[in-house]
């Protein structure tokens, strides 16, 4: 059974732009190497937005050295970046955006969602990139709900959507630089499940909604993260109410993490170079 190293999360909400009220459940400045290759996770809890002609969201901003993974549970977004990629993502869809050597990016509520209003709920996960790939070309993976493998759990306990990695012999569609598992899990009230993770991988259970007992000793509440010991492979989850959670397991990247704003590199000199490159227009332009 995996040992629980700590419970994190539950901070106050803050706004990203004017479109996303999020809780930052973990950051690399707090957990660092303990949760590598994952850097950060923001959870935008279900929030009701009235109909509006105003375009809510986060405007154009640069990124370098890492990836952002946006998982939409409710609502609809439109995104665009300087690679020329763009489009809509709605419930069940995932946008896996690799900034790598540098890209400009923007994300807004979709025009349709803005015009009608509604409930928005999503997760944005930051994933680190090994030094040898940090300056590779940016790319964008838009993964639709229908392309994500869904596996039913035994005894009607719920389901696992395999975004990245592998579960029960089924592989997820996301392409990653290092081995990792990203599982989007639903557990039904009164049900339990025993899961196996990969030995030596960092591992975290992120509870978004509901209440879940972990390894028979700790109860996770809404917007909390349990960090688990990389040793061992087994963990047991027991839901006391219908619950929504994410399991993150990954091969650690044993390299320095130096970040500033939207740049995550391996040294202060690389951060300074990223700022210079952005200021000189080397991150390209977002098409009108």
* Per-residue pLDDT tens listing for the chain (288 residues): 899 999 998 778 999 999 999 999 999 998 888 999 999 999 999 999 999 999 999 999 999 999 999 999 999 999 999 999 999 999 999 999 999 999 999 999 999 999 999 999 999 999 999 999 999 999 999 999 999 999 999 999 999 999 999 999 999 999 999 999 999 999 999 999 999 999 999 999 999 999 999 999 899 999 999 999 999 899 999 999 999 999 999 999 999 999 999 999 999 999 999 999 999 999 999 988
Going from the C-alpha of 90 to that of each of 43, 48, 110, 209, 210, the distances in angstroms are 16, 16, 9, 19, 22
Q: What is the DSSP letter of 13?
A: P
3-state secondary structure of 279: helix
The pLDDT, as a whole number, for residue 11 is: 79
- Put simply, whether the predicted model's pTM sits higher than 0.85 gets the answer yes
Alpha-carbon distance of 233 to 47, in angstroms, equals 36
What's the DSSP call for residue 283?
A: T
Query: Of 22, 23, 26, whose CA–CA distance to 204 is shortest?
Result: 26
Residue that has been written with the tokens 């994500």 in this structure: 148
φ, ψ (nearest 5 deg) of residue 27? -140, 160
The DSSP letter of residue 272 is: H
């Amino acid at each position: 059974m995996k040992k629980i190293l700590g419970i994190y999360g539950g901070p106050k909400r803050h706004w990203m732009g004017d479109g996303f009220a999020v809780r930052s459940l973990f950051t690399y400045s707090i957990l660092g190497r303990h949760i590598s290759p994952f850097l950060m996770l923001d959870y935008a809890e279900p929030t009701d937005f009235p109909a509006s002609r105003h375009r809510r969201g986060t405007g154009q901003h640069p990124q370098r050295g890492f990836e952002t993974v946006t998982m939409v549970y409710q609502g609809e977004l439109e995104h665009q970046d300087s690679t020329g990629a763009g489009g809509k993502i709605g419930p069940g869809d995932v946008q896996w955006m690799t900034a790598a050597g540098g890209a400009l990016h923007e994300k807004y509520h979709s025009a349709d969602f803005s015009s009608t209003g509604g409930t928005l709920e999503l997760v944005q996960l930051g994933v680190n990139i090994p030094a040898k790939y940090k300056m590779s070309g940016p790319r964008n993976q838009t993964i639709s709900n229908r392309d994500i493998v869904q596996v039913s759990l035994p005894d009607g306990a719920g389901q696992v959507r395999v975004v990245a990695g592998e579960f029960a012999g089924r592989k997820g569609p996301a392409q990653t630089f290092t081995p990792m598992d990203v599982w989007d899990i639903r557990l039904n009230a009164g049900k339990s499940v025993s899961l196996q993770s990969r030995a030596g991988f960092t591992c975290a259970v992120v509870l978004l909604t509901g209440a879940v007992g972990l390894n028979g000793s700790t109860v996770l509440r809404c917007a909390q993260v349990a960090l688990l010991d990389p040793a061992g492979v087994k963990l047991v989850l027991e839901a006391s109410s219908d619950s929504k959670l994410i399991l993150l397991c990954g091969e650690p990247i044993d390299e320095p993490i130096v970040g500033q704003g939207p740049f995550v590199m391996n040294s202060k000199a690389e951060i300074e170079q990223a700022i210079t490159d952005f200021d000189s227009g080397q991150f390209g332009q977002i098409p009108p």
